[in-house]
Structure 1
Amino acid sequence: MSIEQLAETAQAMVAAGKGIIAIDESTSTIAKRFAGVGIENTEENRRAYRELLLTTPKLSDYISGAILYDETLRQSTKDGTPFAKYMAKNGIIPGIKVDKGTHALAGCPGEVVTEGLDGLRDRLKEYYALGARFAKWRAVINIGDDIPTGTAIEANAHALARYAALCQEAGLVPMVEPEVLMDGEHDIQTCYEVTEAVLRSLFAALYEHNVLLEGTILKASMIVPGKDCPDQADVDEVAESTVMCLKSTVPAILPGIVFLSGGQSDEDATAHLNAMNQLGALPWPLSFSYGRAMQSAALKLWSEDLKGNFSKAQGTVYARAKDNGLAAQGKWEG
């Protein structure tokens, strides 16, 4: 795929008023979500739940793409249509999570690095053949006593850059996700400083690995205090701090930035995105790539009656997509 095609896909991912739905939970992670609402974690239940999300009527009004898990990319709707084919036909770009999760970073207690580079080139070729047109890799940065270290930041930035280069070689738009966790007691200024350092390291690594930013999407965490910090920030402070940090670190040539909800409540994630888009002209579109903040209400409703509440649950997915689509334009009214 040419850089023009990669750029075209990336731009479509952040089209005005649209965002990404993340339904890429691993089998073990979705088991926890299902257990929380009393659903048995079978392959058929996972398939049916992903079908509920992906076949929501008029979803493409506000959703441009969906990040899938390996199992999901290989599954089909109940009538036998492969999910990727159904999505492409209905205006939703198929994406795929390709990392293998976080592991302890040797020599750096309390810190992790994401693994999954071994064999990635061949996996990406297969995912492209299965219909994926973008991929996602999540790095995790912890804030705590004397962490993050420069070693952890650089190790994760290096892995993200190698992954991104391999994606573009395979014709996939890389979504790079360096998540700074909300866990801890740190204040908003500490989150700002850590996020700034992480993003500077990331874009330096992308440059060194000849990654074409025109065909890359950043999935960013917002600048928020730790959830155990006694001094929580209001919506405007989060929005202003996040935009300021991005302006100081993210090249203007990037097609767009999507945010993860990162443990925020559904409403907070939407309110913060909306406030950012009300701050005036920005170098790039700011949109969303939410998982739990898009799905939690639907999962609870569906769990109460897997067949009877299918359409009702889809209604909540559409409502959440609409709210966030409006927030991506600064037009959400709460």
Structure 2
Amino acid sequence: MNTKQLDRIRTGKGFIAALDQSGGSTPKALLQYGIKENSYSNEEEMYAMVHEMRTRIIKSSAFDSQYILGAILFENTMDRSIDGQFTADYLWEKKGIVPFLKVDKGLADLEHGVQLMKPISGLDDLLKRAAQRNIFGTKMRSVIKEANPAGIKKVVEQQFAIGNQIAQMGLVPIIEPEVDIHSADKEASEKLLKDELFDQLSSLGKDVKVMLKLAIPTKDNFYSDLMEDPHVVRVVALSGGYTQAEANEKLAHNHGLIASFSRALSEGLTAGQTDDEFNAMISKSIQDIYEASIK
């Protein structure tokens, strides 16, 4: 583990950019960026276009370590280059931004009010490649739709079982049990989730470090005590379908919670914008998300 990167993620001022839509969510991300599905004829062309979009974001002068601590990539982006350097190396060496990798293979069907992760085949091999590509940490997402104690327990147990596997390979896992923002009993789910998180944190080996990525809580500062746990490097928030303005407003009420936004970060960016327009838009977004993160 790179101690310089660990220190930056633990103590730095700023937020984490999530540039990790993959598989089924890539067409949606491209559509939001103004590229229609008839613009590419196969997966390879689609991934080339999404890499162009991400390269444009990463190379923007606004995408700067003054505001951004880390960036989450997905496997295809990790394996591609920016200006002749693998993406993770470009991020860290040229930008001073810590690279993470999304490792999950998507969600299983809804059961017990939750969606567990699908099995992650070949995870050890992927983690070895990630380590070779100088990736610092990983991210994996499950979803909680209802305050079902058995379901929530399963989600957290699965996250930590795989998180331990990731930590053994020298990477820092971002544990992401997302409570659906539209859930009718979101606050009750958050209470159950917090108890399960503490339970799993207490069983970790002394030197194991994790990060937590959670929906912005219904009750302000509800996750403050998780931030104090010695195993927890940082607690970050997902935008979860809120608009950027809504997400920022809610985030600003949670001291110490920083953003790890995906859709809310790329909101308003389009392929048709001139570089000046694009940079002005992303610069304002980054500034606003940063301000909400440091409150």
Question: Is 1:270–2:248 an aligned residue pair?
Answer: yes
CA–CA distance in structure 2, aligned partners of residues 27 and 111 of structure 1: 21
Structure 1: runs of 5 or more not aligned: 225-240, 278-284
Q: Is the 8 A contact 1:21 1:65 kept in 2?
A: yes
Which residue of the partner structure matches residue 88 of structure 1?
A: 92
- Name which of 131, 137, 151 aligns with 2:134: 131
The percentage of counterpart residues that share the same residue type is: 23
One-letter identity of the residue aligned with 2:266:
Q
Q: Is the 8 A contact 1:117 1:159 kept in 2?
A: no
User: What does 1:183-198 correspond to in 2, within 5 Å?
Assistant: 183-184=182-183, 186=184, 190-198=185-193
Question: Is 1:320–2:285 an aligned residue pair?
Answer: yes
Which residue of the partner structure matches residue 266 of structure 2?
A: 295
Change (3 A) 1:194 1:312: same
Q: Is the 8 A contact 2:172 2:211 kept in 1?
A: yes
Change (3 A) 1:31 1:12: same
- Alpha-carbon deviations, 1:9-30, whole Å to 9, x = none? 3441254431100010013202
Q: TM-score of the superposition, structure 1-length normalised?
A: 0.78
Which residue of the partner structure matches residue 237 of structure 1?
A: none
CA–CA distance in structure 1, aligned partners of residues 51 and 105 of structure 2: 21
Change (3 A) 1:91 1:166: same
Which residue of the partner structure matches residue 205 of structure 2?
A: 210
Which residue of the partner structure matches residue 255 of structure 1?
A: 233
Q: CA deviation at 1:159?
A: 1.2
- Alpha-carbon deviations, 1:45-88, whole Å to 9, x = none? 111101011112152110011000110001112x3222111101
What is the aligned-residue RMSD (CA, Å)?
A: 2.2
One-letter identity of the residue aligned with 2:138:
A
Change (3 A) 1:34 1:247: closer
One-letter identity of the residue aligned with 2:252:
N
Change (3 A) 1:119 1:247: same
Structure 2: runs of 5 or more not aligned: 41-45
Q: CA deviation at 1:110?
A: 5.1
Question: Is 1:12–2:16 an aligned residue pair?
Answer: no
One-letter identity of the residue aligned with 1:45:
M
CA–CA distance in structure 2, aligned partners of residues 219 and 129 of structure 1: 25
CA–CA distance in structure 2, aligned partners of residues 173 and 98 of structure 1: 12
Which residue of the partner structure matches residue 304 of structure 1?
A: 272
Which residue of the partner structure matches residue 22 of structure 2?
A: 26
Q: CA deviation at 1:251?
A: 4.2
User: What does 1:59-70 correspond to in 2, within 5 Å?
Assistant: 59-70=64-75
CA–CA distance in structure 2, aligned partners of residues 252 and 208 of structure 1: 12
Q: CA deviation at 1:256?
A: 2.1
Is the partner of 1:242 in helix, strand or coil? Answer: coil
User: What does 1:7-156 correspond to in 2, within 5 Å?
Assistant: 9-36=5-32, 37-39=34-36, 40-41=39-40, 42-58=46-62, 59-77=64-82, 79-89=83-93, 90-104=95-109, 108=111, 111-143=114-146, 148-156=147-155
Q: Is the 8 A contact 2:227 2:235 kept in 1?
A: no
Q: CA deviation at 1:114?
A: 0.8
Higher Cα radius of gyration: 1
CA–CA distance in structure 1, aligned partners of residues 12 and 227 of structure 2: 19
Change (3 A) 1:132 1:62: same
User: What does 1:226-245 correspond to in 2, within 5 Å?
Assistant: 241-243=219-221, 245=222
CA–CA distance in structure 2, aligned partners of residues 247 and 81 of structure 1: 38
Q: Is the 8 A contact 2:216 2:251 kept in 1?
A: no
